[in-house]
Amino acid sequence: MYMNYAEIGRRIAQKRRQLLLTQAEVEAKANLSPRYLSNIERGRSVPSVDVLMHIADVLNMTPDEVLWGAAKDSQEEREEKLTAGLKHLNPQQQEQALSFIGWLKMQEGKV
C-alpha cells in the first residue's frame, strides 16, 4: 500500500493551523525533537506510526483523518445527513426507516 507522506504532512499542517498551534507547540506536546514536525509537514521525513499517533492525539485527529483524510462526522453532521436522507424517501419508505430505527433502539438493551 502506497502512503503519500506529502499529503499526510499537508493534512497535519492544515489541522495544526486550524487549531492555531505552532510547530514548536505540537512538537513539545507530542514529545518530538525540534524541526521534526516541519520535515513531516513538508513530506521530507517518514514518521513512524507511533509518531503519527502522538501528533494525531495532540491535534485531536483520528488515525483515518491523518492517513487518509477521512474525518469523523460530528453528531450534527450525522443528524443532517439522516434528515436529508429521510426527506427523499416516499411515505412507505419513511415508515420502514422509522420501524428500523425502533428496532435498533430495542437492540441496545439486548447487548
pLDDT digits (tens, 9 = 90+) for 39-92: 999 999 999 999 999 999 999 998 888 988 876 666 777 788 788 888 888 999
The pTM score is 0.64
Superfamily of domain 5-68: lambda repressor-like DNA-binding domains (1.10.260.40)
pLDDT value, residue 94: 92
pLDDT digits (tens, 9 = 90+) for 73-88: 667 777 887 888 888 8
Domain positions in the chain: 5-68, 75-108
Cα 37 from Cα 32, distance rounded (Å): 7
pLDDT digits (tens, 9 = 90+) for 4-49: 999 999 999 999 999 999 999 999 999 999 999 999 999 999 999 9
* 89-102 burial code (b ≥16 CB/10 A, e <16): eeeeeeeeeeeeee
